[in-house]
């Protein structure tokens, strides 16, 4: 029989001597070694696991403040290498080829659009594991912060969806410039604030926390340069953290829990206030302290508290104070807050025992209307037309 063998139909030929498969073989992917899951954890007790991205010098300072408080899912982006060099955050990314945006928000906007995938990679490194919500921190007056905020909101929203984060809303901490920073900064801040408020209206951004450096400058006029920035960021970041921490604690009196705080977090524009109560001869003393807190110590200007529809009020006192203050006095203070807000608003209450002597009242108010007075001020200082 020959080397070639035909079948009975003579239409298929088999060469029995050629038993080598000479086609180039593809590489077969082999399973890699089992990957270790990375899950970044905060170093402090928290109710919600927030992830922070700071943009520009101002935004990076805010994110850095949260990092120092104990939040570990933190990163920063900037167009200026010099600003990143002074930032203590470990995960940070220089975007663009220039040495900054030069207060030009359109330059920064174009750069971040080109580096969208780089930002997503930064998030993957910085926010590994499960988390609840990304919070974008930005200075609205500078070029990088104002130009990248909207795109960072979109990227954070996409990343939250891909990781199945528990919230579909993105938080924003937006620092507004002092009047003395000039027309360009005011104009940038106006445009950025308007941009973010549209996201609030769409239900995409919540909470929007405004750090109003002009208001803080008026509240603390004698601060040194170093003290001003640490006070400006620290005041609101510390209050935000206080509420996120207090919901992990038990109370023998009245508990403020995760669900309570979530209603405030999901309500849109949000502000904070705090006051120390030094006397309580009768119920009106505590009510007056609450009223002064609302009128004088709210750390964001141009916002009408009467537009709010949800609030949290947490009272922390030492054992002696809580043993001697009638519950009726605290109820009057809570009623004071209720009367300040919209009709049919909700005020969540919490009473806790603390180590510091005396009584402190902390407030968080949400569901607020647009800060029209602040928008007017920014447009006027920025010498731009105030659109409706």
Which residues touch 201 (CB under 8 Å, ≥6 apart)?
none
**Residue 74, preceding bond cis, omega within 30 degrees?**
no
pLDDT for residue 4: 47
Measured at the alpha carbon of residue 360, what is the angle toward residues 355 and 365, in degrees to the nearest 5? Answer: 130
- Residue-by-residue DSSP string for 251-304: -SSB---HHHHHHHHTSSEEEEEEEEE---SSHHHHHHHHHHHHHH--S-TT--
**Interior CA angle at 178 toward 106 and 301, to 5°?**
105
Task: Tell me what pLDDT residue 328 has.
Answer: 92
Model confidence over 2-18: pLDDT tens digits?
444 555 555 544 555 55
The pLDDT score that the predictor gives to residue 20 is: 56
Give the pLDDT confidence score for residue 92 in this predicted structure: 94
- Looking at the domain 270-368, which fold is it? 60s Ribosomal Protein L30; Chain: A; (3.30.1330)
Rounded distance between C-alpha atoms, residue 141 and residue 178, angstroms: 9
Distances (CA, A) of 309 to 171, 185, 215, 216, 273: 18, 31, 23, 24, 16
Pick from 150, 146, 147: which is nearest to 170 by CA?
Answer: 150
Tell me the per-residue pLDDT of 7-49, one tens digit each, with 9 for 90 and over: 555 554 455 555 555 556 566 665 555 555 678 999 999 999 9
pLDDT at 37: 62
**Distances from the Cα of 333 to the Cα of 52, 314, 315, 349, angstroms:** 34, 11, 10, 11
Domain boundaries, the chain: 50-247, 270-368
In what helix (H) or strand (E) does residue 347 lie, and over which residues does it extend? strand 346-353
Cα–Cα separations (whole angstroms), residue 118 to 84, 92, 371: 16, 11, 34
Provide the 8-state DSSP code for 184. Answer: H
pLDDT of residue 297: 61
Mean pLDDT, consecutive 10-residue segments, the chain of 388 residues? 49 53 59 63 95 94 95 94 89 84 82 94 95 96 91 97 96 93 93 97 97 81 75 84 95 93 96 86 84 70 88 93 91 90 93 91 93 92 85
Which pLDDT does position 256 carry in this prediction?
A: 94
Return the structure tokens found at 335.
């009623």
Q: Is 343 exposed, middle or buried (0-12, 13-18, 19+ CB in 10 A)?
A: exposed
CB 148 within 8 A of CB 156: no
- Whole-angstrom Cα distance, residue 372 to residue 275? 26
Residue 343 backbone dihedrals phi, psi, to 5 degrees: -65, 145
Strand duo 359-368 + 310-317: pairing: antiparallel
Same CATH fold assignment for domains 50-247 and 270-368: no
Going by C-alpha positions, the residue among 376, 228, 227 that lies closest to residue 304 is 376
245 Cβ partners below 8 Å, 6+ apart? 44, 45, 46, 47
Q: What is the DSSP letter of 33?
A: P
DSSP tag of 131:
-
Residue 348 burial (10 A CB sphere; 0-12, 13-18, 19+): buried
Residue among 125, 122, 120, 198 nearest 158 (CA): 120
* pLDDT value at residue 233: 76
Whole-number Å distance between alpha carbons of 246 and 66: 16
pLDDT for 11 equals 52
Please say whether the beta carbons of 171 and 132 come within 8 A: no
Tokens 């104002």, located at residue: 146
Topology of the domain covering 50-247: Rossmann fold (3.40.50)
Place of tokens 């003290």: 227
Tell which residue, 259, 324, 326, has the closest CA to residue 287: 326
How does DSSP classify residue 307? Answer: G
CA nearest 96: which of 189, 158, 106, 126? 106
């Amino acid at each position: 029989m020959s080397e070639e063998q035909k079948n009975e139909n003579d239409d298929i030929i088999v060469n029995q001597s050629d038993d080598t498969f000479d086609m180039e073989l593809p590489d077969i992917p082999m399973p890699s070694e089992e990957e270790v899951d990375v899950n970044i954890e905060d170093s402090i007790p928290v109710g919600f696991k927030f992830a922070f991205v700071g943009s520009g010098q101002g935004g990076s300072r805010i994110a850095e403040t949260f990092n120092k408080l104990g939040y570990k899912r933190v990163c920063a982006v900037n167009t200026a290498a010099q600003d990143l060099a002074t930032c203590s955050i470990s995960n940070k990314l220089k975007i663009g080829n220039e040495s900054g945006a030069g207060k030009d928000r359109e330059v920064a906007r174009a750069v971040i659009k080109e580096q969208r995938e780089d930002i997503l990679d930064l998030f993957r490194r910085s926010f590994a594991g499960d988390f609840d919500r990304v919070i974008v921190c930005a200075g609205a007056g500078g070029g990088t912060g104002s130009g990248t905020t909207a795109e960072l909101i979109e990227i954070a929203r996409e990343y939250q969806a891909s990781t199945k984060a528990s919230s579909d809303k993105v938080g924003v901490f937006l620092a507004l410039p002092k009047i003395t920073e000039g027309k360009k900064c005011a104009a940038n801040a106006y445009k950025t604030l308007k941009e973010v408020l549209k996201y609030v209206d769409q239900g995409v951004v919540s909470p929007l926390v405004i750090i109003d450096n002009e208001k803080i400058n008026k509240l603390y006029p004698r601060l040194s340069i170093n003290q001003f920035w640490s006070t400006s960021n620290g005041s609101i970041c510390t209050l935000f953290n206080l509420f996120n921490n207090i919901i992990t604690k038990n109370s023998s009196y009245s508990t403020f829990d995760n669900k309570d705080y979530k209603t405030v977090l999901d309500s849109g524009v949000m502000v904070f206030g705090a006051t120390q109560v030094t006397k309580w001869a009768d119920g009106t003393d505590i009510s007056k302290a609450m009223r002064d807190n609302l009128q004088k110590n709210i750390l964001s200007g141009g916002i009408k508290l009467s537009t709010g529809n949800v609030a949290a009020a947490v009272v922390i006192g030492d054992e002696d104070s809580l043993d001697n203050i009638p519950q009726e006095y605290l109820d009057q203070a809570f009623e004071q807050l209720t009367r300040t807000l919209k009709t049919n608003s909700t005020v969540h209450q919490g009473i806790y025992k603390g180590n510091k002597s005396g009584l402190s009242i902390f407030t968080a108010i949400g569901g607020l209307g647009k800060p029209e007075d602040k928008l007017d001020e920014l447009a006027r200082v920025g010498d731009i037309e105030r659109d409706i």
